[in-house]
Amino acid sequence: MENITHERLLIIDFGSQVTQLIARRLRELNVYCEIHPYQNVTDTFLRGFAPKAVILSGGPDSVTREGSPRAPQSVFDMGIPVLGICYGQQTMMEQLGGKVVSGEGTAEFGRAYVTPTGKLSLLDGWFAEDKEQVWMSHGDHVSEIAPGFAVYGTSPNAPYAVTADVARNFYAVQFHPEVHHTPNGSKLYENFVRLAGFCGDWTMGAYREQAIAAIKEQVGSAHVICALSGGVDSSVAAALLHEAIGDQLTCVFVDHGLLRLNEAEEVVGMFRDHMNLKVIHADESDLFLGELEGQSDPETKRKIIGRLFIDVFQKYADEIEDAAFLAQGTLYPDVIESVSFSGSPSVTIKSHHNVGGLPEKMGLKLVEPLRELFKDEVRALGVELGLPTSFIGRHPFPGPGLAIRCPGEITREKLEILRKADAVYIDQIRKHGLYDDIWQAFCAILPVRTVGVMGDGRTYDFACALRAVTSVDGMTADYYPFSHEFLGETATRIINEVPGINRVTYDITSKPPGTIEWE
């Protein structure tokens, strides 16, 4: 956002898998930070960004390799605090006159313990006992610290686990304070931002005001259209835009007939009737279900839905006069440029659907008011904007909806059964107080009928699979360990309350090797 007024911290990324976690820890401390790949951090960039402090991330390369990444030297000449982590620590030492070695005895992976060797403000309140657990993941280590530095903590394989040049406010740690396995790691970030003088001005209340001003400035008197899905991101984006520009916003809710029980009514009801947003309820279920008839291949189904979604959205958007902007609920993790070492494209597992490509085709500009936020910040902003917490805390729901929870051919009959079974399952989860412990839960109707016996009669009905996973970002997931009592009770309720299902299974596949959805 152009008119940023809050204090800023810059994270220079050297390609660590966990760089985003550094940003998460800092945002939790109400400190605004951005991640930028080391290649992009030029002197001009640094002057423009004007960070109050810099963190150098970890990374997979070796400082001892010729041509390996370095921090811009000017970072050390700006008179601001710098914290180097793992690779960041090593390049900092090397660039400031110390030495890094690779080879036998320099590596350390996994849990380690750091013992203090001196008193340092960065470590205030950190050592609960005489040593502290940390997570190490390094092949090389510092063999000689740079002039001006002193040692404040050591571990068995990292003699310089914590070092600092207090006069210059430079700090360097060999371990990763941002990961879960450094249980007290947040304390170091808290101390670092305190030492750097941050006042903690990054709050959702402050962001709301600033974002509204920025939207007004960007949009002026033009009209904005927004594809409202009922998911958290598009809902919060719509609520924020509405607060900024009122009737200049029109939302299009594309109902593809693949939504959950009462979902369309709930979403449209909330936004149109309670929040007074202009919402077009595009009921195009006949179109979608018609084109999906007879299709059983997962990718074909996804492609049909993606294509129709864009056609339908465009049809309704074309009717909105003076539309100049398309709103998107893009989040910060989607815009962080990653440091690429391999350069090789990854394999497509599933083609996700979105409205990508549409803005250029329709001559629309983008307005993305959530571009700076992580998912939990979006939720906090939603609450700040008055959206009900039950709505904000809803599990993610995929764009293709129930189509990918109905493996094989989709029929209206199967969708009806699936909706009912899913509603009973979610009701069970809520009643047992488990909803917020689970990242995503849903029911899938399987393309198989099984024989059962109910009363004195034979049944020949569908089987369904229950899915519930814990996850942080959907990239990896574990199945949720329900009790047998819960599973038994849920199976009984589904079979009793949902005609058409006579067998219930629980999916205990993790991701990988499975995916969360069935298609």
Residues binding ligand XMP (CB under 6 A):
350, 352-353, 396, 398-400, 440, 474, 511, 515-517
396 versus 447: smaller Cβ distance to ligand XMP: 396
Catalytic, 6? Answer no
Kindly write down the DSSP assignment for every residue of 344-368, as one continuous string: PPPPPSS-----TTHHHHHTPEEE-
Which of 94, 108, 132, 178 does the annotation list as catalytic?
A: 178
| 3-class state of residue 99 by DSSP | strand
210 versus 515: smaller Cβ distance to ligand XMP: 515
Neighbours of 260 (CB within 10 A): 19
* Rounded Cα distance, 76 and 257, in Å: 58
| 3-class state of residue 204 by DSSP | helix
Q: How far is CA 60 from CA 69, 73, 137, 260, in A?
A: 10, 20, 10, 44
52 versus 301: smaller Cβ distance to ligand XMP: 301
Cβ 231 to ligand XMP shortest distance, Å: 7
Residue 105 contacts residue 135 (beta carbons within 8 Å): no
At which residue do the structure tokens 């519930």 appear?
A: 468
Sign of CA dihedral 146, 151, 153, 159: positive
Cβ 461 to ligand XMP shortest distance, Å: 26
Residue 249 contacts residue 277 (beta carbons within 8 Å): yes
Catalytic, 86? Answer yes
Catalytic, 178? Answer yes
69 versus 407: smaller Cβ distance to ligand XMP: 407
Q: Kindly state the tokens that stand for 416.
A: 């009806």
Which of 138, 176, 281, 353 does the annotation list as catalytic?
A: 176
| 3-class state of residue 143 by DSSP | strand
Picking from 48, 129, 138, the residue whose alpha carbon sits closest to that of residue 86 is 138
Picking from 80, 43, 41, 46, the residue whose alpha carbon sits closest to that of residue 57 is 41
350 versus 371: smaller Cβ distance to ligand XMP: 350
381 versus 516: smaller Cβ distance to ligand XMP: 516
Q: Radius of gyration of the chain from Cα atoms? A: 26
Which of 7, 33, 86, 443 does the annotation list as catalytic?
A: 86
Number of residues assigned to the chain: 519
Active-site annotation, residues: 86, 176, 178
